[in-house]
Structure formats: structure tokens, C-alpha cells
A and B are shown apart, each in its own frame.
Chain A
Amino acid sequence: MERYSGNPNAAAALVEPNQVHRDVYINQDVYKLEMQHVFTNAWVFVGHESQTAAKGDYFATQIGDQPVIQVRHKADDIHVLYNRCPHKGTKIVIDRQGNTGKFFRCPYHAWSFKTDGCLLAIPLKKGYEGTDLEKTASGKGMKAVGAVKNHRGFIFARLAEEGISFEEFFGDSLSSIDNMVDRSPEGRLEVVGPPLRYMHHCNWKMLVENQTDTCHPMVAHESSAGTAIKLYEELDLPEGAPKPPAMEIIAPFMSPYEFFEGMGIRTWPNGHGHTGVNHSIHSDYTKIEGYFEAMKAAYGEEKAKAILDENRHNTVYFPNIMVKGPIQQLRVFIPLAANRTVVESYIYRLVGAPDELTARTAMYNRMINAPTSIVGHDDLEMYERAQEGLQSDGMEWVNIQRLLEEDEDFTEEAVHNGTTERQMRNQFNAWAKFMTYELATQEAAE
């Protein structure tokens, strides 16, 4: 176990072109290295701006294992601060969201801070006179993360002070978020309600990989999607009769391999990628009255069509979120330990679009991603069996070589057969890159 502590190179060596060593999933020291390097050097999703709509609104979450607060400081200025008092370490907020007014006040000794983190006041401050408090980190206030970027309402942060720029990190992959936002006739999304929260006793990367795993739906979900189709056929409804909503949402999971092959997978540099280049399981949803008309009025017919013709399935933003544009959903895979992950599934309302779209989104979320969802049960069973199976000493490597090509270059955008595991390899390539990012930067400087 000792060999990984403080040694990101040893962790990066667990990734080979066609396989990864099981320690990336089961070793707690590797997990700690991920938190210190991957989740520090990468740009990580924090929250949506509508979760902190008014001045003083805050939202508490975590970046990797770091507790942070997203807070609205001014009308167009959102900050991300570490959620600890610079004095004794007390968490400044403990509820998930709220409004703090003009300042944060630590409940322990009443140190107070402006909503950009700057120290505002300390009771009985004369006790610090002549002690050079202002020269310490504690005297400066609540610490901010290294960098924050609001991209069309989605707040991302980089913990590291220096590092890759937001634009370079995401590049053209932002087109999936853009398409989701463009689906609102007003170009604006609003979060709807709290997220589903689903505890998984498995490594967070298994969940991220599953987002572009197109060879599992017809197998792992036969129990739910296959049974849905069987029940529907038994109903023997007359032609043209409305289908039960479950058929539209769940049945496409049983699509054959050829469907998923033709769907296509696109990969972008730095570990991002998506399924559903040409079509997807979301392509054949029923039209909702009034929606296209609203889009046409906002964008003109041609552009409205172009926006809605995009039916990307799952877009993975490395390291730990997935976005589903056609149903306005975002899932965050929050790593709690090597073998523990909490998944939070958010939905958004397309501002200016009919309510029926929100209803479909809410239905998708509960049918597929709830701890009470039969489709969720299918998936979690596989992850947890994998987490347990990897304890086996008989084999130490996990295979990721479906449709592997010689000398794969992940620095270029590429489109491939929809059943390739290239996106999983792309993620691990980025994982090794950001695991050793500081070392590579140091070497380049020398």
C-alpha cells in the first residue's frame, strides 16, 4: 500500500493503453492521490447559477473531497470558497443551501467575512494587536479556490492556483452544455428542486465509465427494459393508442447492438466525450405542442431545427459529471472514498418552454436515476459486484480495449463506432495527465 503515497507517477503507471490496474478502483492511497492531483488540477463542476440566484445565496457542495461554498457576491459575480473558518476550521455553513445576507458569520467565535471571503470583523480584535494576524492566512479571510468560471450558468472551479485554462481544458466539448442551454427559447436554464441522491458502494470512475458504456444496456437492463416491452406487448393495445410513458423512457434501453454501434462516440482532449453523435435513445421522444413554435420564434426555423436535431445521449465532462442535453439533466459523481460514491442527479427547466418538457425530465430522472428506480438497481448491482470482484487476487487488470487502435492520440477530437471503449481510455489518459500535472509542469520549466 505504501508505494502510492506521495507518488503520483506510481499511480499514473496503473494506466496502460488497453487496461488499467485494479488499484485505480480499490486502493485508498490512489484515491487520496486523485483528490490531491486530479481533482485539484482539473476544472470540476460546482453548481448551477440558479442555485444561488440572489445576492447572499449560497450552495454547499464538494470538489473531490473538499467542502466548498458557491456564493453569489454581486449580481453577476459568483465565488467559490472553501467551507471552513480560517480561525479554527469550523464549517461556515452546514445546510445545503440558503441565504447568508451581506456576510458569512462563523457560529463558533463570530468571525465574519464578506461574501467574497474577505475578513470583515473579529470580536474583541484588540486581542490580535501586534500579533501580525494580517500576515497569516487566517487573517485574510475565507480561502477562495484557485479559479472560477461561469459558462452559460454552469459554475466550474479549479482548486489549483495555477494550471490549465478553462478554455483549453474543455475546448469544443462545451458544445454539449451549449446545446442544452440553447434548448431554452430564452437561452436560460433553472434548476428544479433538490437532486436525487443515490449512495453507491463502488468507485466513482465505474459510474463515469458506465456513461459511455453502450454494450451494457441490453444486458444489464434486460430485467427492466425487456420486461417493459413484454408487458406492453401483452397489453395488446390498438394501433395508435398512446403508449405508457415508461415505454418511451425505458424501452429504448433494449435497442440492439447495431443501434448503439451506429449512434457513434465522440472524444475530445482532456477526457471529455459523448455518445449519440448521429442519434440516441432520446431521438424518438414525442413532440410537445408549442415547443418548436417557441424555439422558431426565438432562433428562426433553421437554427431551431439545428439545435433540436442534436440528440446527444451522455456527455462526460472529465472528471466527474455527465450531461444529458435532450432531457436537461446533469449527474455528479461525488467521490467519498475508493469504494464509496454519492451520485446527485439534477434536472433543469428550459426557461420559456412548455412545462411538459420539465415533466418528461422529472420522469426520466425518477425512472432511471433514483435509488428507487428499477434501472438504477440494475446498474448499481453491476458496480458493486465489480467493486467486490476486484478484490480477487487471481487477476489484477481491468480490460478497456474494445475497438482499440494502435497509437491512439487523445489530443485530437475524433468520432468512432458507438461501441468503442475509446472514451474510457480517453478518461484514463486524462486521469494520468492530471495526476502528474505538477511534475510535468516542473519538468517543462527546468
Chain B
Amino acid sequence: MSVSKDQLIDFIYEEVRMLDEGRYAEWLALWLPDGHYWMPLDYKQSDPINETSLLYEDLFMLKLRVERLNGARTFSQKPKSRCHHVIQRPFVDEMKGDCFVTNTSMHYVETRLDEQQLLALTARHELALVDGNLHIANKRVDILNCDAAFCNIQLLP
């Protein structure tokens, strides 16, 4: 099976829609088991391991993050946060065999109670075709003002 550019683009749109609608079980199912979600702390950071990042999470951590959102004693989610992505049409930068790379500019809004914040960011997806379905192999999210002092960012851009 081959994958078209449009299918890759649709995949990115579907993913942010899942996040906005809180369909986390479906979202987790998009991931390959050894994938990592990386959000660098430094502008143009190249090392996720030996330097601090905002996020560098394996699937266990991502599951924990999602599970916690609905916990009976998750006080920072009472009331719950909501989020909203506005994305530009993804650039498809690489199509090699069953591996693909996209880059997508987004505005991400997260809100809870009276607070709302807007982040401008670029998401780089490494996607892979496994058993006939597209999956996220790795995702990197660079926040434009990654060096600013943030309040809580509780959901996932």
C-alpha cells in the first residue's frame, strides 16, 4: 500500500482534532510503542537526553499523563482544561518508503477557569506505515517562545 501526500496531511488534521476533542484513547493508539513526544526547552535544541526539555515522554508517560487527566484526585483538572489547535496546511518534507516527515505550524490555545494562553508552535511529525496504518513514530513540538516563563501547560499541543 502506498500513502499519498493528502493522506499524510489528513492524518495531522485528524490528530489535532482528537486532542481538541479529548479523544485520548484514539490518540494513544496512533503511537508506535517506542515513540517519543519531545518538546524542547531551548531554541534549536538538538539533545533530548542530556539537557532539560519541557517534555520528552515515552508511551508510558503519555499514558500516565492522559490517565491522570481523568483521575478522581487530579485537583489541577477540577475544573478541566480545554484546548484548541488552529493549524496551517502541513508541509510534507520527506516520503521515503514507509517513513514520512511533516512540519506543521500551529496556534495552540489552552484554557481553564479565567485563564487562557496562546502558543505559536511548529510540530514535526515522523510518521510510519505499519500494518497498513499510519502511526506516529516521533513528534517534536517547538514552541516559538520556548524560553519564556510559562504558567501551567496541562494538555498536549
Indicate, yes or no, whether A interacts with B.
Answer: yes
Q: How far is the CA of A201 from the CA of B114 in the complex (A)?
A: 13
* A15 interface hit (Cβ, 8 Å): no
Which residues B101-157 have CB closer than 8 A to chain A? Answer: 147-154
Interface majority SS (helix, strand, loop, mixed), chain A:
helix
* B65 interface hit (Cβ, 8 Å): yes
* A115 interface hit (Cβ, 8 Å): no
Q: Given A220-B75, A223-B75, A371-B152, are A196 and B41 neighbors across the interface (CB < 8 Å)?
A: yes
A184 CB, min distance to chain B CBs, angstroms: 15
* A164 interface hit (Cβ, 8 Å): no
Q: Report the nearest A residue to B143, measured CB to CB.
A: A372
Task: For A192, list chain B residues within 8 Å (CB).
Answer: 50-52
B51 CB, min distance to chain A CBs, angstroms: 4
Task: For A193, list chain B residues within 8 Å (CB).
Answer: 41-42, 45, 51-52
Contact assessment for A371 and B150 in the assembled complex, using a CB-CB cutoff below 8 Å: yes
Count of interface residues, chain A, beta-carbon cutoff 8 Å:
47
Q: Report the nearest A residue to B147, measured CB to CB.
A: A194
Q: Report the nearest A residue to B72, measured CB to CB.
A: A223
Q: Among B41, B76, B77, which residue has its beta carbon within 8 angstroms of that of A194?
A: B41
Q: What band does the interface of chain B fall in when counting residues whose beta carbon is under 8 Å from A?
A: 20 to 34
Contact assessment for B76 and A381 in the assembled complex, using a CB-CB cutoff below 8 Å: yes
Q: Report the nearest B residue to A244, measured CB to CB.
A: B60
Q: How far is the CA of A192 from the CA of B65 in the complex (A)?
A: 26
Q: How far is the CA of A246 from the CA of B58 in the complex (A)?
A: 9
Contact assessment for A197 and B55 in the assembled complex, using a CB-CB cutoff below 8 Å: no
Task: For B50, list chain A residues within 8 Å (CB).
Answer: 192, 355, 358-359, 362
Task: For B86, list chain A residues within 8 Å (CB).
Answer: none
* A376 interface hit (Cβ, 8 Å): yes
Which residues A186-229 have CB closer than 8 A to chain B? Answer: 192-201, 220, 222-224, 226-228
B24 CB, min distance to chain A CBs, angstroms: 14
A18-36 contact mask (Cβ, 8 Å, vs B): 1 or 0: 0000000000000000000
* A415 interface hit (Cβ, 8 Å): no
A241 CB, min distance to chain B CBs, angstroms: 13
Contact assessment for B64 and A366 in the assembled complex, using a CB-CB cutoff below 8 Å: no
Task: For A359, list chain B residues within 8 Å (CB).
Answer: 49-50
* A347 interface hit (Cβ, 8 Å): yes
Contact assessment for A244 and B58 in the assembled complex, using a CB-CB cutoff below 8 Å: yes
Contact assessment for B76 and A378 in the assembled complex, using a CB-CB cutoff below 8 Å: yes
Q: Which of B55, B60, B148 has the most CB of A within 10 A?
A: B60
B51-85 contact mask (Cβ, 8 Å, vs A): 1 or 0: 11111101011011101100101111100000000
Q: How far is the CA of A363 from the CA of B71 in the complex (A)?
A: 24
Q: Given A198-B150, A227-B64, A244-B60, are A371 and B54 neighbors across the interface (CB < 8 Å)?
A: yes
Q: Given A192-B52, A365-B52, A366-B56, are A231 and B152 neighbors across the interface (CB < 8 Å)?
A: no
* B12 interface hit (Cβ, 8 Å): no
* A119 interface hit (Cβ, 8 Å): no
A235 CB, min distance to chain B CBs, angstroms: 8
Task: For A197, list chain B residues within 8 Å (CB).
Answer: 147-150
A97 CB, min distance to chain B CBs, angstroms: 12
Task: For B49, list chain A residues within 8 Å (CB).
Answer: 359, 362
* B39 interface hit (Cβ, 8 Å): yes
* A382 interface hit (Cβ, 8 Å): yes
Contact assessment for A228 and B73 in the assembled complex, using a CB-CB cutoff below 8 Å: no
Q: Among A342, A366, A380, which residue has its beta carbon within 8 angstroms of that of B149?
A: A342
B52 CB, min distance to chain A CBs, angstroms: 5
Q: How far is the CA of A377 from the CA of B77 in the complex (A)?
A: 9
Task: For A201, list chain B residues within 8 Å (CB).
Answer: 151
Q: Report the nearest A residue to B56, measured CB to CB.
A: A366
Q: How far is the CA of A244 from the CA of B51 in the complex (A)?
A: 19
A364-394 contact mask (Cβ, 8 Å, vs B): 1 or 0: 0111001110101110111001000000000
Q: Report the nearest A residue to B65, measured CB to CB.
A: A374
Q: Report the nearest B residue to A243, measured CB to CB.
A: B60
Contact assessment for A223 and B74 in the assembled complex, using a CB-CB cutoff below 8 Å: yes
A20 CB, min distance to chain B CBs, angstroms: 24
Task: For A385, list chain B residues within 8 Å (CB).
Answer: 75
Q: Among B55, B58, B60, B63, which residue has its beta carbon within 8 angstroms of that of A372?
A: B55
Q: Given A231-B64, A377-B76, are A366 and B54 neighbors across the interface (CB < 8 Å)?
A: yes
Q: How far is the CA of A232 from the CA of B63 in the complex (A)?
A: 11
Contact assessment for A196 and B68 in the assembled complex, using a CB-CB cutoff below 8 Å: no
**10 A-B residue pairings within 8 Å (CB atoms):** A193-B42, A196-B54, A198-B151, A199-B151, A222-B73, A223-B75, A224-B64, A355-B50, A362-B52, A366-B41
A-B contact sample (11 more), CB < 8 A, given A230-B67, A371-B149: A192-B50, A193-B51, A196-B41, A198-B151, A227-B71, A347-B52, A362-B49, A362-B50, A371-B150, A372-B54, A377-B76
Chain A contact residues, CB within 8 Å of chain B: 192-201, 220, 222-224, 226-228, 230-232, 235, 244-246, 250, 342, 345, 347, 355, 358-359, 362-363, 365-367, 370-372, 374, 376-378, 380-382, 385
The 5 closest A-B pairs by CB, nearest first: A381-B76, A197-B149, A371-B150, A223-B74, A244-B60
